[in-house]
């Protein structure tokens, strides 16, 4: 975490914050912040120093994030996520580490604004089901002081972090982003090796599509479909020949990142970024839990022998995102594959099951590597100048990845007792839909590597507008 003068000059380091999730700075020179996933809220002097924790995690996979100071410079609002129903939601903490006070069960970032003529009470702002809400709040008694009411509709959020797209100043200005405009701006399309478009496939205008994956027989496509508000999703299947989509998961919240079993009869998917389930691909039958608990668990690939699913998981502290092998049968006890002080993601089994290709930022930039299974420490760097989202051709003779300048690259490879990789060659450009090391893919090659199913932006790709309202409190019903 760093600070820099508004007038410019060099940035000054305050303290370590490996994967920050928000902070707030009071007029006494104290900063409270979330240093990363799996971390409580800490305080530190704005002059720098060693942070001290002021909130405690009740569960190992609980999340504390997005603190905002209240007017007394001592208490602060923050979000408790992935906790128990009794403690989940908007909470008040204190810089002296006093016990937290649960305020609302809504999973949203929040902030407080003062109200003129309200006898000291103000408004607590938060997002609920796509709407910016306000509720009277007493900052002295730390309690709700009235009924919640809507302020603005169509307010966006980050689906996996509950960071609502709004900000309100103390001098009467409100700004918010409209999440509805970003939800339907992509489609699935077929391209050849030159990047020539061969046609679109699948639903359009029904929500945001993600992570397309061909079935082993290439007759169906598994994909994520987020609703138009962007705050829930399910895994869907598309019959390629008929062009008819069908829903495969029916859970609340986020169900996404489905992967196929080698025989195409089952899928594995993640629910709300913590649990991993297996179920029949056609959506029938019961879901079988394979993994419960954790942070940002995301299945990536299923080995050809059907024994393991490789998944990425984010941990607290310095380990970042790691790669694990999840046995599909038996006790499902995870086996560590790669745990380092860096972020590893995007893992894929080689067709012969002897090698793992993955992306890591161990060099300071995301690069693609290949390593044996189990990991030996010896590895081959595939991308010379940045790369993510690697995938194998079905016969194992070619690797694909996306370069740092968003080009799809093809690399000839030979594997067996050893491993050899040729020089990467660019094929065509792709839209930068996902950030690096996210564990999600924007393309899928056919078995022969001659065609590619890709996610493509459609319509207006400009950033959605931000609405700014001056003197917005004057329009509220008294």
Q: Which of 39-43, 273-277, 435-439, 447-451 has the highest mean pLDDT?
A: 447-451
The residues, any chain, with a CB within 8 Å of residue 6's CB and separated by 6 or more, are none
What whole-number distance in Å separates Cα of residue 402 and Cα of residue 279?
Answer: 31
Compute φ and ψ for 472, nearest 5 degrees. Answer: -65, -25
Please report the pLDDT score of residue 119 as a whole number: 60
Please report the pLDDT score of residue 231 as a whole number: 66
384 strand-pairing partners: none
DSSP three-state, residue 337: strand
> 205 pLDDT exceeds 80?
no
User: Would you say the C-alpha torsion 27, 29, 34, 40 has a positive or negative sign?
Assistant: negative
Query: Token match 């080009």: residue?
Result: 407
Please report the pLDDT score of residue 182 as a whole number: 44
Report the percent of the chain where pLDDT is more than 90.
Answer: 70
Q: Which two tokens stand for residue 441?
A: 């893919």
Maximum C-alpha span of the chain: 77
Tens digit of pLDDT for each residue in 407-418? 999 999 998 788
Query: Token match 């069908």: residue?
Result: 246
pLDDT band at residue 318 under the 50/70/90 scheme: very low
Q: Are 23 and 33 in contact (CB under 8 A)?
A: yes
Tens digit of pLDDT for each residue in 235-276? 999 999 999 899 999 888 889 999 999 999 999 999 988 899
pTM: 0.81
Q: How many CA atoms lie within 13 A of 199 on its CB side?
A: 4
Nearest Cα to Cα of residue 210 among 37, 448, 396, 389: 389
Please report the pLDDT score of residue 179 as a whole number: 62
What's the DSSP call for residue 181? G
Q: Which long-range contacts (CB under 8 A, 24 or more apart) does 113-117 make?
A: 113/168, 113/169, 113/170, 113/473, 114/71, 114/170, 115/473, 116/473
User: Would you say the C-alpha torsion 52, 56, 62, 63 has a positive or negative sign?
Assistant: negative
Nearest Cα to Cα of residue 263 among 345, 190, 328, 203: 328
What whole-number distance in Å separates Cα of residue 212 and Cα of residue 203?
Answer: 12
Please report the pLDDT score of residue 368 as a whole number: 98
Q: Which two tokens stand for residue 155?
A: 């307010």
DSSP three-state, residue 475: helix
> 181 pLDDT exceeds 60?
no
Measure the CA dihedral 188/192/193/196, to 10°.
-90
Q: Are 88 and 82 in contact (CB under 8 A)?
A: yes
Q: How many CA atoms lie within 13 A of 441 on its CB side?
A: 31
DSSP three-state, residue 473: helix
Q: Are 171 and 469 in contact (CB under 8 A)?
A: no
The residues, any chain, with a CB within 8 Å of residue 225's CB and separated by 6 or more, are 203, 206, 207, 208, 209, 210, 233, 234, 235, 236, 245
Please report the pLDDT score of residue 212 as a whole number: 95
Report the percent of the chain where pLDDT is more than 70.
Answer: 93
Percent helix / strand / coil, the chain, rounded to 5: 0, 50, 50
Between 435 and 54, the more confident residue is 54
What whole-number distance in Å separates Cα of residue 325 and Cα of residue 311?
Answer: 6
Residue 82's CB is within 10 A of a number of other CB atoms, namely 21
Domains and CATH numbers, the chain: 2-180+463-475 (2.120.10.30), 186-457 (2.120.10.30)
Between 305 and 37, the more confident residue is 305
Tens digit of pLDDT for each residue in 117-157? 556 789 999 999 889 999 999 999 999 999 999 999 888 88
Query: Token match 């309690």: residue?
Result: 143
Please report the pLDDT score of residue 462 as a whole number: 60
Tens digit of pLDDT for each residue in 68-101? 999 999 999 999 987 788 889 999 999 999 999 9
What whole-number distance in Å separates Cα of residue 436 and Cα of residue 13?
Answer: 25
User: Would you say the C-alpha torsion 135, 139, 142, 145 has a positive or negative sign?
Assistant: negative
């Amino acid at each position: 975490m760093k600070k820099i003068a508004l007038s410019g000059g060099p940035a000054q380091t305050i303290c370590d914050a490996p994967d920050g999730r928000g902070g707030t700075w009071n007029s006494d020179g104290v900063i409270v912040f979330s240093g990363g996933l799996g971390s409580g809220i800490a305080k530190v002097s704005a002059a720098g120093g060693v942070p001290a924790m002021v909130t405690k995690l009740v569960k190992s996979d609980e999340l504390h994030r997005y603190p905002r100071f209240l007017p007394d410079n001592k208490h602060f609002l923050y979000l408790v996520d992935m906790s128990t129903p009794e403690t989940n939601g908007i909470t008040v903490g204190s810089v002296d580490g006093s016990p937290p006070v649960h305020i609302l069960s809504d999973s949203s970032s929040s902030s407080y604004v003062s109200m003129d003529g309200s006898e000291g009470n103000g408004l607590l702002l938060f997002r609920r089901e796509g709407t910016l809400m306000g509720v009277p709040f007493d900052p002295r008694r730390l309690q709700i002081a009235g009924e919640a009411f809507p302020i603005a509709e169509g307010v966006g959020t980050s689906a996996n972090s509950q960071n609502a797209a709004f900000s309100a100043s103390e001098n009467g200005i409100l700004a918010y982003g409209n999440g509805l405009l970003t939800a339907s701006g992509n489609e699935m399309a077929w391209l050849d090796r030159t990047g020539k478009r061969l046609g679109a496939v699948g639903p359009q205008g029904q929500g945001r599509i993600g992570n397309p994956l061909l079935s082993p027989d290439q007759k169906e496509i598994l994909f994520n479909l987020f609703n138009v508000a962007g705050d829930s999703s399910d895994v869907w299947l598309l019959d390629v020949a008929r062009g008819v989509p069908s829903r495969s998961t029916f859970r609340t919240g986020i169900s996404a990142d489905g992967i196929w079993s080698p025989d195409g009869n089952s899928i594995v998917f993640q629910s709300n970024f913590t649990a991993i389930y297996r179920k029949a691909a056609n959506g029938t039958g019961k879901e079988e839990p394979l993994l419960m608990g954790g942070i940002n668990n995301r299945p990536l690939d299923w080995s050809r022998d059907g024994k393991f699913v490789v998944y990425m998981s984010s941990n607290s502290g310095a380990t970042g995102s790691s790669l694990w092998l999840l046995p599909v049968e038996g006790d499902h006890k995870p086996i560590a594959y790669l745990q380092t002080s860096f972020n590893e993601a995007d893992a894929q089994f080689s067709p012969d099951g002897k090698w793992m290709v993955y992306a890591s930022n161990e060099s300071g930039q995301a690069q693609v590597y290949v390593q044996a299974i189990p990991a030996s420490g010896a590895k081959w760097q595939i991308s010379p100048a940045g790369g993510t989202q690697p995938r194998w051709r079905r016969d194992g003779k070619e690797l694909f990845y996306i370069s740092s300048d968003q080009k799809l690259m093809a690399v000839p490879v030979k594997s067996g007792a050893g491993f050899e990789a040729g020089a990467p060659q660019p094929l065509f450009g792709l839209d930068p839909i996902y950030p690096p090391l996210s564990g999600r893919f924007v393309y899928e090659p056919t078995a022969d590597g001659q065609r590619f199913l890709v996610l493509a932006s459609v319509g207006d790709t400009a950033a959605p507008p931000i609405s700014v309202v001056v003197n917005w409190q004057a329009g509220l019903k008294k």
